[in-house]
Chains A and B, each alone.
Chain A
Amino acid sequence: MKLDGLPWARHWPFTGAVLALSIFGVAMIYSAGVKNIPSPVTEGIWVRQAIVLLGSILVLIGLSQIPSRWFEWMAIPLYLLSLGVLAVTLVIGTGSGTAEGMRSFLTVAGFQFQPGEAAKITTALALAKLLARKADGPEHLRDLVWPVAIVGAPLALVVLQPDLGTALAFVGIFFAAIFWAGTPWPMILFTASPGLSLILSFSTWIWSAYFLSLIVGLYIYRYRLYLVESLGVILANLAAGAIAQPLWNSLQQYQRNRILVFLDPDIDPQGAGWQLVQSKVAVGSGGVLGKGFTLGTQKRLNFLPEQHTDFIFSVVGEELGFVGTSLALVIFGYLFFRMIRLAQAFDDPFSGIFVFAILGVWLTHVVVNVGMTVGVVPITGIPLPFISYGGSFLLMSWVAAGLVVGMARDVR
């Protein structure tokens, strides 16, 4: 068999980037375990990550052999199955490691995994299938009702765990998918507007200005909207503005602190502010070339929190410096560009939308995770794809990559 016949080999720029990031991740996880006072939590875990990586490579090779038609056919059943598992997780799920207070893990035959990770893929599949049915793309807001519902269901279940980080990824899936499905930009903005309304409601003045500009936008775009849709947007915005306060009150203290310290790290210097400040110190003190692989003092001396999972990029910053961080971001950028290129090459709407949905997940993860290490994004418990420690997360990222490669089997 010619190597050229294998989709994963033919798309080596994509698989190569994924593999490079994963190997880089294993190396950084190894470094996270090198400390002055060894900790059983981080020591030697790189071996487990490497084993999962080997398995993930096999999974990718296997999945890439399955025709994408099969996934299109299975999309809805898989989606429903994962919804069911998510619902079960809410009841019998457990926390794990650093996410002790959540119910986001299921233990099956001794293996812990996060159903939320799998649900991202099945949701992407279901959303792709739904949106692909209409070659003209969503032209009206009502065309987006079903897509919102498809994403909203798992999102709600994840929020209840509560796992806001994963929930954010679903938002990424949604917007990436409807974008590739051809939704006009104004429509995307209107859909996003209740979220903006929620965020901006902290200040009456800002929210009022925003609301006015929203009305103006709706008026300009009036010939493309039904009256009921316009009203729906307005009502949704009003509702979002109104529930902001109760929603804020319902947040856990640590979640509020994460948002507050984002605005002012001094508010909670021992808790969430500590994480942010120490991460900034680690990244900043890395300088241009870094302190050297495994030699980061912030990491070695345990000043860095969650250094093998959510804050692994701080270790990259401290030990490999600006060279390391920008190189990692360039590799991610390359990966994303390859995915855009694939989607562009697909004649088939389903495959293109799916690739974009996965791109949405990964981009959200990268921006939020990397952004929080330097304090430009609030701290959210969201891992860095391919690099952060975590078996089910790595595996599921590779599964998604396998599906992408499988769909690209016919693309030259």
Chain B
Amino acid sequence: MSTYRIGIFLRNLLLYITLTFFAFVMLFPFLVMVFTSLKEANDTYRFPPKLLPRAPITMAVEGFEEELPLYYVDNEGVQDKFVLIEKTVKVGEYAAANQLDTTYIRELDLVTETAGKTVIYEGEEVPLYDITVNGETIPMVRIARTALGRFADPNDPSKTLLQNLRDSEPVEKLTWHPENYKEVINLHGMDRALTNTALITILVVLGQLVTSVLGGYAFARLNFPGRDSLFVIYLGTIMIPFVVVITPLYQLMIMLGWVDRLAALIMPWIFTAYGTFLMRQFFITIPKEIEEAAILDGASRLQILWTIFLPASAPALATLSTFTFLYAWNSFFWPLVVINTGNESNRVLTLAVSVLGGRAADAPNLVLAGAAIAILPPVIIYIFGQRFFVESSTSSGVKG
């Protein structure tokens, strides 16, 4: 019995590990987006990459006007935190001619040539320098030149040491730069794109609800010649890819004068076969008896639709709304075709993000802030209305 239980436990553990791994895979890119969008530009290009936005710590040190950045330094074998006071100090690496392995690092400015003495080093005649080691002056050859950073103890600025700046790790704190969003919104015209997208989405959702409810009701409950064949045609067109109509639709927009206009992003999307199909499938499940009683009472069709069908079909309406919302908010191909990308006032978010990706390619923090503006509203709405999103995906036909 207990081995059985252990087996079950191990199996469940494995399941949870698998699930958690995939959850990580699904969420990690979004975490990268959010955290990178809060970083400083120069904080984004670092290797190894760090998820959280960080900023170097700076300190005010006596005798210096500006605040100085703090670094981890190796202070005689002990790790310490010193401030950087000079970025490039030119130094030379010196060694005695007979003992090239032991090198000493000295600042170039503080070293003087040994008067009149030279030596042959690597086939060339080079001067010797006076290097003081433990109070003793030894003539040495310079075998390399480099630049180091000068660091000082913040508590005692006279105590300094030299260390390679590139290898030094700055002392950092976690920060965030929400002003990235401000910059993207103000400088890259994202504000207008956001309100345009919101307006378009609202109008498309409302319009599609109205036409789908009316059409769905007609298909479900009203008998007219040609109804069924018309319904079959509607169903068939759901399968036809949008690209098939894209060129004639574009020409229609030219004819109507809607190229570069918001109307082109709204009107064609109000009438869809899919929405009509969805509402029809729901309405057909509502019992006929209720409706017949209302007709006997003298209610008009619109009254019946308004007072009986609509209240009963809240889930279907919510499903259709979420589906349409996602479609309208995220659509890219059609806006790309019909709205000139240079037209900042009539752009939608997806277009603006695409343009931003090219324009600010070297500032991933800004690009991802733009991406977050496009992605987060649907995600937030999804978190609140999860049920309807999931239903909208399954209602697309799998129940058959």
Q: Do A and B bind each other?
A: no
Residues of A within 8 A of B (CB): none
